[in-house]
A and B are shown apart, each in its own frame.
Chain A
Amino acid sequence: MAGIELKNISKVYGGSVVAVDDISLEIKDGEFMIFLGPSGCGKSTTLRMIGGLESISKGDLFIGGKRMNDVDPADRDIAIVFQNYALYPHMTVAGNLGFGLKLRGVARHEIEQRVKSISTMMGIEPLLDRKPAQLSGGQRQRVALGRALVRNPQAFLLDEPLSNLDAKLRAAMRTELIKLHHKVGTTIIHVTHDQIEAMTMGQRICIMKDGHIIQVGAPLEVYRNPANTFVAGFLASPPMNLVAGRLEGVGQGDLHAVVGAARLPIPDAFKAGYASHAGQPVTVGLRPEDFHQAPVGGSSVAVTVVTVAVELLGPEVILVAELGGSGGPEIMARMPRDFMARPGAELHLHYDLTQMHVFDAATGNVLPRPQIA
């Protein structure tokens, strides 16, 4: 096992296309780290640089304290699980599992033994004589994971390994990967564009965009305290409502966030950080789950909304409504499963002000406020 450290790493293609731009990150020994971001954000490229499949244009990569920039992938002692599994199509499952060991000159009986124990662990023992074409997607996924596990590497690099599975299987494999990490305790870097995977699986999430790291932190930490509108809009489903508004008021005395016809008073604790933007346009971030039907403690404010649509999801209801009255900005609110409202109906909801975030309208960066623990 080993920690992984990226120091000012960049990847430039053809001298001008910058895929990854000067990123630094430390992944602790045994950590389950998620690289999250939209396609083209550089997360897979970063993973491939760590794995040695892409050269590093600038910066240094350390695995287990050793500089690895110029080390062959085979000698980095890492295992990669690819998005489409990349199994050897002409080899049986047993052949796929044992290939890396065979190349490393491991004795035959030991290969058999390790293949057997890994296949038992992954539940693929009955499939050992089959070829990849005869396996289902989930089975191939297990074989690909087994092939990574069998070598007992210092770290696993998973490149969107669940994205080709159907929804049900994906949920099952998520749990299995988490269990697996508990069992083997090896460092894992998991690349994904699925924010549910990111929230549920990782100990920390590294959110990337356009080749830059935007924010790194524990899933709930990032969810509760997004660094900018990109992170706020990327995590959770439905994501945070980001609506254009203004901060109105004079100094720290009487500060309001005005969104359409709704006036949201700024809690005293936030005023110091927000005062500098008084009178300026801002983006107000309101999570759908912070709208309630009844007041919450002493920290909520009543808001009027006009129902646009109601989406019945079963366990919950998503209310799409116009904030502040008809013609106001459209928001989504997460309601309990028995909630009902007709389109056009005016409702009074309660918004939990302690959860509010205000972002600079121009830069999208969050304005400083006390962190939500």
Chain B
Amino acid sequence: MIGISGTGANAADRRDRRFGYAMATPSLLVLFLIILFPVISALFTSLHDYTLIAPNFDTFTGLTNFKLALGDAEFRHSAWLTLRFVIGVVALEFLIGFAVALMLNKVERFKPIYYAILLCPLLMNPVIVGLIWRMFLHPNLGIVNYLLSTIGIDPVNWLGDTKIAIWTVILVDIWHQVSFMIVLLLAGLSSLPKEPYEAARVDGANAFQCFIHITLPMMRTVIVVTLLIRLIFAVKTYDLIYIMTRGGPGTATDFVSYFIYRTAFVSLNVGEASAMSIILLTAILGLTVYLYRYMRSIN
């Protein structure tokens, strides 16, 4: 009896599995073609002396491209710059985002309207954002400097000053992306159970103590995920730079993504650029794995 019913179940199981594979194969193939193939291709290219002047895989160079990249002072400079930018935008966006989310979480009326306003910047293409802000921030014709002049502040060279440019980019990125943080954190906040707060009120906690002892610990997973996603996106920042500063003035905003682009398509050294991409990919993957493990450990 057991054998018979066992066989029946197995046949059905096998059919289910075959059907499952049949359904999954097309998307797996597409995924492989558009994601895994470029990665493998980049890895392959990074091991060869491949330039756009001599676009061939004739010379296998092993890890030379990686050594060159890591030894390149400009690459290290842009990596350091990117790190500062990422920490700056993620930290500021998180602080602003969390504060706004906490405020909005208490709001009961007109919530959809606030949402709509908040989502506007997020819905814009980064290229458009870059163009708009480049106009706003134009040293002579921009509205920002005009408004500053009305209260007696001298015009600021927002994108042309090596000390100010990176902060300008950070501010524009915050304007563009902070609503992402707000929306995600707000979703997290509104899904928190009410009862622990009531218990804490009876236990004698004030609003600040509730935030520290209840909200923050219960939001930990949401916070980690939000930071992780934002971090990965910030590391990749390219379009804003391309539109607003082209990495300048000098190399003041020359972030890694833009530097890799320059190496590949301006210096035409695709092999070394691929090596840099692989280094960047490894760094992001490492970060992702670390944060994923951390999240698993707290649950």
The answer on a CB contact under 8 Å between B201 and A99 is no
Question: 8 A-B Cβ contacts within 8 A?
Answer: A80-B198, A88-B199, A88-B200, A88-B214, A88-B217, A89-B218, A99-B205, A151-B203
* Contact of B204 (CB < 8 Å), options: A80, A88, A91, A104: A104
* Contact of A74 (CB < 8 Å), options: B201, B213, B217: B201
Q: B213 to chain A: which residues have CB within 8 Å?
A: 88, 99
Does A94 reach chain B (CB closer than 8 Å)?
A: no
The 0/1 profile, CB within 8 Å of A marked 1, for residues 250-271 of chain B is 0000000000000000000000
Number of A-B contacts (CB under 8 A): 59
Q: A74 to chain B: which residues have CB within 8 Å?
A: 201-205
Among B201, B202, B204, B214, the one with the most A-chain Cβ atoms within 10 Å of its Cβ is: B202
Residues of B within 8 A of A (CB): 193, 195-196, 198-205, 209, 213-214, 217-218, 220
The answer on a CB contact under 8 Å between B199 and A103 is no
The answer on a CB contact under 8 Å between A86 and B204 is no
Q: B196 to chain A: which residues have CB within 8 Å?
A: 86-89
Which A-B residue pairs are the 6 nearest by beta carbons? A86-B195, A100-B203, A74-B204, A90-B217, A86-B199, A103-B204
The answer on a CB contact under 8 Å between B209 and A80 is no
Return the chain B residue nearest A104 by Cβ.
B204
Say yes or no: A103-B205 contact (C-beta < 8 A), given A89-B218, A90-B218.
yes
A133–B217 CA distance with the chains assembled, in angstroms = 15
Q: A100 to chain B: which residues have CB within 8 Å?
A: 202-204
Q: A147 to chain B: which residues have CB within 8 Å?
A: 199, 203
Known: A74-B205, A79-B202, A88-B217. 16 other contacts (CB 8 A): A52-B201, A53-B202, A72-B201, A73-B201, A74-B202, A82-B199, A84-B195, A85-B195, A87-B196, A89-B196, A90-B217, A90-B220, A91-B217, A99-B200, A103-B205, A147-B203
Dominant SS among interface residues on chain A: loop
The answer on a CB contact under 8 Å between A103 and B198 is no
The answer on a CB contact under 8 Å between B199 and A80 is yes
Return the chain A residue nearest B194 by Cβ.
A86
The answer on a CB contact under 8 Å between B201 and A53 is yes
Q: B204 to chain A: which residues have CB within 8 Å?
A: 74-75, 100, 103-104
Q: A79 to chain B: which residues have CB within 8 Å?
A: 202
Q: B209 to chain A: which residues have CB within 8 Å?
A: 103
The answer on a CB contact under 8 Å between B205 and A78 is no
Q: A72 to chain B: which residues have CB within 8 Å?
A: 201
Return the chain B residue nearest A83 by Cβ.
B195
| Min CB–CB distance A72 → chain B (angstroms) | 8
Q: A151 to chain B: which residues have CB within 8 Å?
A: 203
A337–B72 CA distance with the chains assembled, in angstroms = 93
The answer on a CB contact under 8 Å between B202 and A78 is yes
A91–B203 CA distance with the chains assembled, in angstroms = 14
The answer on a CB contact under 8 Å between B195 and A82 is yes
A91–B220 CA distance with the chains assembled, in angstroms = 13
| Min CB–CB distance A65 → chain B (angstroms) | 21
Q: B214 to chain A: which residues have CB within 8 Å?
A: 88
Within 8 A of B (CB), among A319-338: none
Does A245 reach chain B (CB closer than 8 Å)?
A: no
| Min CB–CB distance A187 → chain B (angstroms) | 15
Return the chain A residue nearest B198 by Cβ.
A53
Q: A87 to chain B: which residues have CB within 8 Å?
A: 196, 199
Return the chain A residue nearest B220 by Cβ.
A90
Q: B195 to chain A: which residues have CB within 8 Å?
A: 82, 84-86
Q: A73 to chain B: which residues have CB within 8 Å?
A: 201-202
A75–B195 CA distance with the chains assembled, in angstroms = 19
Return the chain A residue nearest B204 by Cβ.
A74
A75–B204 CA distance with the chains assembled, in angstroms = 7
